[in-house]
């Protein structure tokens, strides 16, 4: 199965792992314990992903389009059985760092 082709029928485990490594960010996309894609960037994770308000949305996307072929809200018609969001053990940034990061576009 390739990226962008949709999921085969049946129940699956989908995961996206993001880890800070050597000052950068490592990202892995996993389907049923098989890594589909991975990338490492020299940049750390941003404190805020999108200014103007964001929230977790399951089953549809109300955000900005990723490509010209993708037009939100792009509803999802599957069944969501469970969600697990492990947060890890990293400490949050100090207040001054957070204040500056949230004011910069």
Q: Is residue 81 assigned to a domain?
A: no
Gap between the Cα atoms of 36 and 31, Å rounded: 7
In this structure, what token pair is assigned to residue 101?
Answer: 């990061």
Domain that holds residue 26: 12-47+87-105
pLDDT of residue 45: 73
Q: Say if strands 24-31 and 14-21 run parallel, antiparallel, or are unpaired.
A: antiparallel
Q: Does the model's pTM come out above 0.85?
A: no
- Cβ proximity of 25 and 44 under 8 Å: yes
The pLDDT score that the predictor gives to residue 57 is: 72
Angstrom CA distances, 14 to 7, 18, 32, stand at: 10, 14, 6
Token output for 45? 């994770």
pLDDT for 62: 67
The domain total for the chain is: 1
Beta strands in 4-100 (DSSP E): 14-21, 24-31, 34-41
66 found inside a domain: no
* Res 32: pLDDT: 92
Q: What is the pLDDT of residue 39?
A: 93
In order along its 105 residues, the chain shows pLDDT tens digits of 445 557 778 889 988 888 888 888 899 999 998 999 999 989 877 666 665 555 667 777 766 666 777 777 767 777 888 888 777 776 666 777 777 767 664
With respect to residue 17, please indicate whether it lies within any of the assigned structural domains: yes
């Amino acid at each position: 199965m390739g990226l962008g082709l949709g999921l085969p029928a049946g129940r699956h485990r989908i995961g996206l792992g993001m880890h800070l490594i050597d000052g950068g960010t490592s990202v892995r996309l996993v389907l049923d314990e098989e890594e589909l894609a991975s990338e490492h960037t020299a940049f750390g994770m941003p404190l805020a992903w999108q200014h103007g308000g964001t929230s977790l949305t399951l089953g549809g996307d109300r955000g900005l389009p990723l490509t010209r072929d993708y037009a939100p809200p792009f509803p999802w018609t599957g069944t969501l059985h469970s969600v697990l969001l492990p947060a890890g053990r990293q400490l949050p940034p100090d207040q001054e760092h957070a204040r500056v990061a949230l004011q910069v576009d």
